Amino acid sequence: MSKMARWMDQAAIPRPSAPTRSRHRVSQPDSAERQVDSRATAAESAEPGLVSEAVRLAMVEGLRRAGVRDSGVLEVMRNVPRHRFVEPALSSRAYEDVALPIGHAQTISRPFTVARMIELLAAPLEGTARSAARVLEIGTGCGYQAAVLARLFGEVVSIERIRGLHEQARTNLRSLRIANLRLVFGDGQLGVPQAAPYDLVIAAAAGESIPEAWLQQMQIGGRLIAPVSGGKGQALHLVERSGSDRWQLTVLDAVRFVPLRDGTA
Ligand code: SAH
């Protein structure tokens, strides 16, 4: 198996339609995950702040061992408090490398998936090109990835179709005081034309194809990464826009995301 195929397999997250399987996965972490978990629970009551810093560092070390190389992405993920984005009952598991339920039959993506997708998306961007980039995220969910994106890039617009999650994200993000992030409620398949064009587009839900609106709202020279469902399951698609009528597609490996749905709820 190629290196790429290996990490993409690891990036798979539980299907929302298979809650038993997802629960099984979450309750049977591998040994590295268990180690992080026990550190979190052992000392959590004493020094919550310090503990979450320590387990975040351990999470980032795990991401590095799993092949994430982008130091900017790793640094931001060392600082964004993922435990504030999951329900209190699950916060001791927030730094395990697993997807966790966030309500409304949706999940917060695995840290590895977040890290790897952003790393791929941002690969050619350095310095000010990176810190000034304008980004569209489709599928805000609980807002965790939106927070990571906002700390890395210039301007982030994130759209969510489930009102309850859109509001939950707003609440989760409030205390982080992120000024360069705009949350939008609506059907992300239409993109957010008012703030287009975007240098980077990232989707956290899989459709059967990449909506035309996303392609049109990309900046020329911009990049898009999205899971796409096909006959054999989902694959991650990387699209680069090279001209007003030219887009180049690279199909990466298998992933498993929640479905991209129509309309709002
Ligand atoms: N970015 C999140 C992942 C959330 S899961 C994280 O940080 O972990 C994917 C999200 O995409 C779900 O909340 C789902 O409701 C949302 N979604 C699905 N179809 C959508 C659409 N058409 N427009 C906007 N959001 C959509």
CB 44 within 8 A of CB 80: no
CB 156 within 8 A of CB 146: yes
Q: How far is the CA of 58 from the centre of ligand 1 (A)?
A: 27
Binding-site residues, ligand 1, Cβ < 6 A? 106-109, 138-142, 144-145, 159-162, 165, 187-189, 204-205, 258, 260-261
Which protein residue has the closest C-alpha to ligand 1 atom 13?
A: 141
Per-residue pLDDT of 133-175, as tens digits, reads 999 999 999 999 999 999 999 999 999 999 999 999 999 999 9
Q: What is the structure's pLDDT at 243? A: 98
Q: What is the mean pLDDT of residues 8-25?
A: 32
In a domain, 102, yes or no: yes
Q: What is the structure's pLDDT at 253? A: 78
Other residues' Cβ atoms within 10 Å of the Cβ of residue 28: 10
Kind and range of the H or E element at 65? Answer: helix 48-65
Planar angle of CA 210, 216, 222, nearest 5 degrees: 90
How many domains is the chain built from? 1
Which residue from 216, 226, 199, 224 is spatially nearest to 129, judged by alpha carbons? 199
Q: What is the structure's pLDDT at 202? A: 99
In a domain, 261, yes or no: no
Residue 47's pLDDT band (boundaries 50, 70, 90)? low
In a domain, 46, yes or no: yes
> Taking 50 as the threshold, does the pLDDT of residue 236 lie above it?
yes
Which protein residue has the closest C-alpha to ligand 1 atom 26?
A: 139
CATH number, domain containing residue 23: 3.40.50.150
In a domain, 27, yes or no: yes
CB 124 within 8 A of CB 142: no
CB 73 within 8 A of CB 111: no
Q: What is the distance in angstroms between the CA of the first residue and the CA of the last residue of the chain? A: 40
Planar angle of CA 18, 21, 23, nearest 5 degrees: 105
Q: What is the structure's pLDDT at 48? A: 64
In a domain, 179, yes or no: yes
Helical pair 31-43 and 48-65, crossing angle rounded to 10 deg: 170
> Taking 90 as the threshold, does the pLDDT of residue 3 lie above it?
no
* CA–CA separation, 102 and 141 (whole Å): 8
Per-residue pLDDT of 204-231, as tens digits, reads 999 999 999 999 999 999 999 999 999 8
In a domain, 101, yes or no: yes
Q: What percent of the chain has pLDDT over 90?
A: 78
Which residues are identified as catalytic?
Answer: 109
In a domain, 147, yes or no: yes
Other residues' Cβ atoms within 10 Å of the Cβ of residue 104: 16
Q: How far is the CA of 141 from the centre of ligand 1 (A)?
A: 5
Q: What is the mean pLDDT of residues 80-108?
A: 95
Which protein residue has the closest C-alpha to ligand 1 atom 8?
A: 108
Cβ contacts of residue 2 below 8 Å, gap of 6+? none
Other residues' Cβ atoms within 10 Å of the Cβ of residue 63: 24
Q: What is the structure's pLDDT at 117? A: 97
DSSP label of 254: E
Other residues' Cβ atoms within 10 Å of the Cβ of residue 242: 11
Q: What is the structure's pLDDT at 128? A: 97
Which residue from 47, 217, 33, 24 is spatially nearest to 137, judged by alpha carbons? 217
Mean pLDDT over all residues of the chain?
85
Q: What is the mean pLDDT of residues 67-84?
A: 97
Full domain range(s) for residue 246: 4-255
Per-residue pLDDT of 179-206, as tens digits, reads 999 999 999 999 999 999 999 999 999 9
Q: What is the structure's pLDDT at 52? A: 85
